[in-house]
Amino acid sequence: MIEIEEQKIEPVTTAPDADLLTPAGEQQDAPASKQRGWGFWLHAVAFLFGLALLIYVINRVGVQPIFDALAQIGFGFLLLLSLSGVRHFCRAMSMLAAIPAEHRRFGIWQAFATRLSGEAISFLTFTGPLLGEATKAALLRRRMPLVTGVQALVVDNLLYNLSVALFILSGTCVMLLAYDLPDAAHYALLLIAACATATLIAVGLALNRRVMPVTWLTERLVRLNLRPQLLIKRSEHIHHVESNVYHFYRDRRGAFFGVVGLNLLAHVLSVAEVLLTLRMLGFRPAAHVPYVIESLTKVVNFIFGFVPATIGVYEGSTEIILRTLGFAA
C-alpha cells in the first residue's frame, strides 16, 4: 500500500485543481466542460424526479394534514428554526477550525454567513452541492488564497462524512437491537452497518499507518490492466486530497478531533429537532426513536445525494420511515 513520505508530500498548491470547485473555471479544457454539461443535465433530471416524487407524496398524504401539522406546531416552529440555526453554527465552526490559523482572517459570523450562503444556493438551485460548495469557495477567496479555502472545505466535508458514517453505524445498531424487523429490512441494515464499519476501519488504518488507500487502489488496478478512467483522470487530485487529510490529522490533531466533535454535535442537534417535532405533533416517542429516524434519514440523503436538496426523496423516505416505526406520517 502507498505510504505517505512526510518529507515529499506537500498540501495542494496548484490552482487548476482548485478551479474545479469555482463557478468560473475558465482554464478547464473541453472534456471537463463536457463533463460539467452532463452533470448539469443529470442534476436537472434528478431535480425533476424529486419534484415529481414530492407532488406524489403531497397528493398521497393530502394538503390539509400538512397545514394541520403546521398549525399544531405553531410558534414552536421558531424553536425548531433556532435549533437548525445552532446546528449550522456548529458546522460553520468546524469549517473555521479546518482553516489554518495563519489564514483565518475572519471570525465565526463571517464563516456562518458563508455556510448559510452556500447552503441556500444548494437548496434553492437544482445544481445542488456543486454550486453550493463553489459559492463557499468563492466567498472564502475574498479572505484567503483560493487553494487554502478549497482545502479547508474538502477536509471539513470529508470529516463530516466520516461523522455521518459513525452516526449511521450507531443508529442502525440501535434499530437492530430495538425492533423486530422483517428479514429484508434486517439484512439491509446489517449491510449498511457493515459498510459504515468498513469505512471507519479503513479511515482509521489509513491515518494510523500513513497510507493513501484510493491512490493505492488506483495504481493496483492500472497494474492489473484495469483502467478506471474516472479514477485515473482524477488520480493526482485524489492523491492531493488524501495527503491533505493526512497532513491535517498529523499536524493539527486538536483541530482534527475538534472538527469531528463539532460535526457529531450537529448530528445531536438534528436528533433534538426530530424529538421536538414529534412531541409538538403530540407523539411521545422513546428516547431511541428520534435517533433511529435521523440515522435512517442520513442513509437516504447519502444514497440520493445526487438529487438537489433531496427534494421529494426526503419527504417520501420520511413518510416510509415514520410508518415503519408506527407513526402516522
CA distance 73 to 52: 27
CB 167 within 8 A of CB 292: no
CB 216 within 8 A of CB 239: no
What is the model's pLDDT at position 106?
Answer: 83
CB 259 within 8 A of CB 154: no
What is the model's pLDDT at position 15?
Answer: 40
pLDDT in tens, 116-142: 888 877 776 656 666 777 788 888 888
What is the model's pLDDT at position 22?
Answer: 43
What is the model's pLDDT at position 42?
Answer: 65
Q: For the chain, what are the domain ranges?
A: 76-209+252-308
Residue ranges of the chain with per-residue pLDDT less than 70: 1-44, 46-47, 49-51, 53-54, 56-57, 60-61, 124-130, 214, 222, 224-235, 237, 305-312, 328-329
What is the model's pLDDT at position 20?
Answer: 43
Spatial neighbors of 121 by CB under 8 A, at least 6 apart, are 127, 131, 132, 135
CA distance 286 to 52: 34
pLDDT in tens, 161-198: 899 999 999 999 998 888 888 888 889 889 999 999 99
CB 192 within 8 A of CB 299: yes
